[in-house]
């Protein structure tokens, strides 16, 4: 038999900065290897370690290939059923609940970031095609900073990240691209090779910090005060400038009234480090500042993001120099999103539930109560706060459906699990929330077993429902996957991308055209709104470290940075993981270890009001005092210790405050284990 070799364009669909375009080698219908796409102007022919391991992900023995049903939820007694049976279970429940309540508000879904492809909006489109329903809303990852930048400068739109290579200074606040955005590092290193200093500001001495010229270890959640100290110092040197920005006089007064020693004490940074940072902001002609998502995962972080951004706005105005600020590229949310928008029938009457409080709030809803829950592109038991509440919520539903590739922690508590395609098995369209490239994902192989794409599930389920109750769903079942690609690209504003059809993306990815209009700031950049003028910048947020801590006994702040070689949640169960990724450890400082009488490899219990988890001690002298560092994911993930507090929501924007989690730590012998 003659060997048949093909090369196909695919795109990594994961919740990642890069959204890497890749070229897949297929031999006789099997994925053999993947490589980076050299025509993608951001990733430039490279992938990360996770990307290169995708063939293992596709052919994992743990992958689901048929719909699964368990009669007793949580029993683990699964049996395979046909798609026809699965569709009948779901459609019958949807129709029964509608007849009972005369509305679809008893149906709820929760979807976020497991797959960011545009055609993966199909299930949202399906729910919208039914009419008003209940759903999660918000952005628990980057919503706070987005809101803050919109308020302050009228846009959150970041320049092309490739432009960072031309900066003469780079300041990174709370991001670790050497682990989470590795392709950005080549542009950072290009700038450094041309003499640009790299400053990294982070509570942890990260892989990116190791490459920096200057590392500033700020106290967790206290970036506001470091940024304020820098601005105060710059103001003392240039007291007559920056009056063109509305609200500057109010901010200036607060800076003058605030003692430098107070600011330094709050952020835990020396005056010498503040002075060095101020010099870089003042004397660089083209300084690029990157406001990372880590800086906004604390209560009151809206003020931190705004104050960090204020340094760039003010120094640009003071010194008439360029100050690019990088945070987020919202093109992902500016796409026509035809699969959702073409099916919206009663959106204004939907019940929208805050992502962070979903598991707490859903059981309280009445008229009607929610009785059906569908989870797709999600694994909240490994991702979300309030794990116990999530488990209770799932037990109380009449029907729980999960769409996934593996039997995740969340899927184990469902009634019905639907196996879905990998990105090698369906069409899709991808745009990054960081770089400005648009890429096409083509099917490289036939779907394994009996798996189906989200779009196919939505289309077929709508047909089943309408066969039983004509007209209940308005989902456009006559359109194929390629039809939806055509609809999406044809709906793009003229000139946004240098393409006229999606087929052109089969040749190469496309970059967004001139971004000057998108980057144009609002007519009025401001530091205060008239409505909130009575609230001072500092006193409103002087609560970001409000928990009283006994520095020898706790509770201690818990930080959980991302891993270079591992993605938790849906991606986690795919492979026989390397031993070093299985290690359940907690990193603590040498001083904290000494004060608690702990040694390397001691087994400890971490606990708070939400849960308790076991770990082994690893001592790292560079960990901040009174901080516990844990890897995400695992059998008992760190998010079990996290709980959303509704009374804190006013100061938090949309983002989950994971880095405000606090826990006690004791040796297991002392815990009586």
For residue range 346-386, list pLDDT tens digits in order. Answer: 989 999 999 889 999 999 999 999 999 999 988 999 889 99
Which residue did the predictor score with more confidence, 461 or 658?
461
Q: What pLDDT shows up at residue 181?
A: 95
Q: Of the spans 431-435, 559-563, 632-636, which averages the highest pLDDT?
A: 431-435
**Could you count the other beta carbons within 10 Å of the beta carbon of residue 353?**
21
In DSSP terms, which residues pair with 123 in a beta bridge?
A: none
Helix (H) or strand (E) holding 607: strand 603-607
CATH of 541-667, one of 2.60.40.10, 2.40.50.140, 3.40.50.2000, 2.40.40.20: 2.40.40.20
CA distance 88 to 74: 21
Q: For residue 57, name the pLDDT band (cuts at 50, 70, 90).
A: confident
For residue 194, pLDDT over 50 is answered with yes
Strand order in the sheet with 78-80: 78-80, 68-70, 416-419, 399-404, 372-376, 107-111, 134-137, 351-354
pLDDT at 658: 86
User: Does residue 545 surpass a pLDDT of 80?
Assistant: no
Given this model, what pLDDT does residue 573 score? 57
Residue 254 is inside which H or E element, if any?
A: helix 248-257
Nearest-Å Rg of the Cα atoms of the chain is 25
Of 432, 433, 431, nearest to 328 by C-alpha is 433
- What average pLDDT score do residues 80-94 get? 98
Q: Three-state DSSP class for 310?
A: helix
Per-residue HEC secondary structure of 55-120 comes to: HHHHCCCCCCCCCEEECCCCCCCEEECCHHHHHHHHHHHHHHHHHHHCCCCCEEEEECCCCCCHHH
As separate numbers, helices (DSSP H) first and strands (DSSP E) second, the chain gives: 24, 25
Is 449 exposed, middle or buried, given 0-12, 13-18 or 19+ CB atoms closer than 10 A?
A: exposed
Q: Which residue has the higher pLDDT, 537 or 191?
A: 191
3-state SS, residue 273: helix
Residue 546 reports pLDDT greater than 80: no
Judged by average pLDDT, the poorest of 103-107, 302-306, 424-428 is: 302-306
Query: Cβ of 132: how many Cβ atoms within 10 Å?
Result: 18
- Cβ-count burial of 621 within 10 angstroms (0-12 exposed, 13-18 middle, 19+ buried)? exposed
Q: Which of 306, 417, 340, 432 is closest to 130 using CA atoms? A: 340
Least confident stretch, 260-269, 474-483, 628-637:
628-637
CA atoms within 13 A on the CB side of 669: 4
Q: Are 440 and 502 in contact (CB under 8 A)?
A: yes
Task: Look at 523 and 179; give whichever has higher pLDDT.
Answer: 179
Cα–Cα distance for residue pair 621/631, rounded to 1 Å: 18
Question: By percentage, how much of the chain surpasses pLDDT 90?
Answer: 71
Whether pLDDT at 196 is above 80: yes
| Residue range(s) in the chain whose domain bears CATH number 2.40.40.20 | 541-667
Contact in structure between 8 and 423 (CB atoms under 8 Å): no
pLDDT at 90: 98
- Per residue in 453-511, pLDDT (tens digit) is 999 999 999 999 999 999 999 999 999 999 999 999 999 999 999 999 999 999 999 99
User: How many other β-carbons are positioned within 10 Å of the β-carbon of residue 485?
Assistant: 23
User: For the chain, first and last CA: distance in Å?
Assistant: 62
User: By three-state DSSP, how is residue 76 classified?
Assistant: coil
pLDDT tens digits for range 548-603: 556 668 899 999 988 877 766 656 655 544 555 556 899 999 999 999 999 999 99
Contact 332, 114 (CB under 8 A): no
* Block residue for tokens 């706060």: 385
Topology of the domain comprising 159-327:
Dimethylsulfoxide Reductase; domain 2 (3.40.228)
pLDDT given for residue 532 in this prediction: 56
So what's the pLDDT on residue 526? 81
Let me know if 337 is exposed, middle or buried by CB neighbors in 10 A (0-12, 13-18, 19+): middle
Q: From CA 445, how far away is CA 424, in angstroms rounded?
A: 6
8 Å CB contact between 7 and 24: yes
The better pLDDT of the pair 333, 613 is held by 613
C-beta of residue 51 within 8 angstroms of C-beta of residue 22: yes
Query: Mean of the per-residue pLDDT values for the chain?
Result: 90
Identify the pLDDT of residue 648. Answer: 46
Domain with CATH 3.40.228.10 in the chain: 159-327
Q: Helix 301-319 crosses helix 143-153 at what angle (to 10 degrees)?
A: 40
Residues with Cβ within 8 Å of residue 668, at least 6 apart in sequence: 602, 603, 604, 605, 614
Q: Using the predicted structure, report yes or no on whether residue 530 has a pLDDT greater than 70.
A: no
| CA distances from residue 518 to 184, 312, 430 in whole angstroms, order as listed | 22, 19, 19
- CA–CA distance, 350 with 274 (Å, rounded to integer): 48
8 A C-beta contact, residue 655 and residue 145? yes
pLDDT in the model for residue 467: 98
- Provide the pLDDT for residue 649: 46
Helical H runs in 102-205? 122-130, 143-153, 177-180, 184-193
Residue 439's SS3 state is: strand
Query: Over pLDDT 70: what percentage of the chain?
Result: 90
Quick one: average pLDDT of 385-393? 94
Q: Is the model's pLDDT at 543 over the cut of 50?
A: no
Element (H, E) at 172: strand 169-173
Question: Predicted confidence band at 544 (pLDDT cuts at 50, 70, 90)?
Answer: very low
Reading the block at residue 385, the tokens are: 């706060």
Gap between the Cα atoms of 522 and 240, Å rounded: 25
Query: What's the CA angle centered on 444, arms 442 and 445, to 5 degrees?
Result: 135
Q: What is the pLDDT of residue 584?
A: 85
Measured distance CA(435)–CA(331) in Å, rounded: 9
Residue 80 has pLDDT above 90, yes or no: yes
- Note whether 438 and 509 are within 8 A (CB): yes
> 142-151, 204-213, 239-248: which has the minimum mean pLDDT?
239-248
pLDDT band at residue 537 using 50, 70 and 90 as cut-offs: low
Q: What is the pLDDT of residue 282?
A: 95
As a whole number of angstroms, the distance between CA 673 and CA 389 comes to 26
| pTM, rounded to two decimals | 0.94
């Amino acid at each position: 038999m003659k060997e048949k070799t093909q090369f196909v364009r695919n795109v990594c669909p994961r919740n990642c900065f890069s959204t890497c375009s890749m070229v897949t080698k297929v031999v006789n219908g099997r994925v053999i290897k993947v490589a980076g796409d050299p025509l993608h102007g951001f990733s430039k022919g490279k992938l990360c370690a996770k990307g290169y391991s995708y063939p293992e992900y596709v052919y994992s023995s743990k992958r689901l290939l048929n719909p699964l049903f368990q009669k007793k939820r949580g029993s683990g007694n699964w049996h395979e059923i046909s798609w026809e049976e699965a569709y009948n279970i779901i459609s019958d429940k949807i129709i029964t609940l509608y007849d009972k309540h005369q509305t679809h508000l008893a149906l709820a879904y929760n979807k976020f970031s497991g797959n960011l492809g545009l055609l993966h909006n199909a299930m949202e489109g399906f729910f919208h095609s039914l009419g008003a329903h209940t759903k999660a809303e918000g952005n628990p990852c980057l919503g706070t900073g987005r809101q803050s930048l919109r308020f302050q400068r009228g846009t959150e739109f970041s320049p092309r990240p490739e432009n960072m290579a031309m900066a003469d200074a780079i300041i990174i606040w709370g991001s670790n691209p050497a682990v989470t955005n590795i392709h950005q590092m080549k542009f950072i290193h290009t700038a450094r090779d041309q003499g640009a200093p790299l400053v990294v500001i982070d509570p942890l001495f990260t892989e990116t910090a190791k490459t920096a010229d200057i590392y500033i270890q700020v106290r967790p959640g206290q970036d506001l005060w470091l940024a304020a100290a820098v601005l105060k110092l710059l103001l003392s040197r240039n007291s007559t400038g920056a009056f063109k920005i509305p609200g500057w006089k109010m901010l200036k007064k607060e800076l003058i009234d605030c003692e430098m020693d107070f600011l330094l004490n709050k952020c835990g940074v020396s005056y010498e480090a503040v002075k060095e940072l101020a010099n870089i902001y003042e004397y660089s002609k083209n300084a690029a500042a990157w406001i990372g998502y880590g800086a906004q995962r604390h209560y009151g972080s809206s003020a931190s993001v705004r104050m960090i951004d204020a340094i760039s706005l003010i120094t640009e105005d003071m010194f008439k120099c360029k100050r690019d600020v990088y945070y987020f590229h919202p093109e992902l949310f500016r796409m026509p999103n035809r699969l959702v928008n073409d099916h919206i029938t009663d959106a204004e009457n939907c019940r929208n539930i805050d992502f962070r409080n979903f598991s707490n709030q859903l059981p309280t809803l009445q008229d009607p109560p929610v009785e059906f829950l569908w989870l797709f592109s999600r694994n909240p038991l490994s991702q979300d706060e309030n794990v116990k509440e999530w488990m209770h919520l799932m037990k109380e539903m009449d029907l729980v459906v999960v769409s996934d590739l593996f039997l995740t922690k969340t899927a184990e508590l469902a009634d019905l699990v639907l196996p879905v395609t990998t990105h090698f098995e369906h069409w899709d369209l991808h745009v990054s929330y960081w770089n400005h490239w648009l890429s096409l994902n083509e099917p490289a192989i036939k779907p394994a077993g009996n798996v189906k794409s989200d779009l196919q599930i939505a289309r077929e389920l709508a047909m089943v429902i309408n066969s039983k109750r004509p007209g209940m769903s308005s989902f456009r079942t006559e359109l194929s996957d390629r039809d939806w690609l055509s609809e999406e690209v044809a709906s793009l504003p003229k000139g946004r991308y240098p393409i006229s059809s999606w087929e052109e993306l089969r040749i190469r990815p496309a970059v967004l055209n001139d971004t000057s209009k998108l980057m144009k700031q609002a007519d009025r950049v401001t530091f205060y709104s008239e409505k909130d003028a009575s609230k001072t910048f500092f006193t409103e947020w002087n609560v970001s470290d409000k928990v009283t801590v006994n520095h020898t006994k706790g509770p201690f702040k818990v930080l959980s940075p991302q891993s270079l070689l591992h993605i938790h949640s849906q991606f986690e169960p795919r492979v026989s993981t390397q031993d070093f990724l299985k290690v359940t450890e907690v990193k603590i400082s040498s001083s904290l270890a000494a004060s608690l009488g702990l040694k390397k490899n001691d087994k400890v219990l971490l606990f708070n009001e939400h849960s308790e988890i076991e770990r082994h001690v690893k001592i790292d002298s560079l960990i901040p005092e009174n901080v516990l560092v844990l890897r995400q994911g695992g059998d008992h993930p760190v998010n079990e210790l996290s709980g959303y507090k509704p009374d804190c929501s006013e100061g938090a924007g949309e983002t989950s405050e994971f880095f405000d989690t606090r826990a006690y730590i004791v040796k297991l012998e002392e815990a009586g284990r």
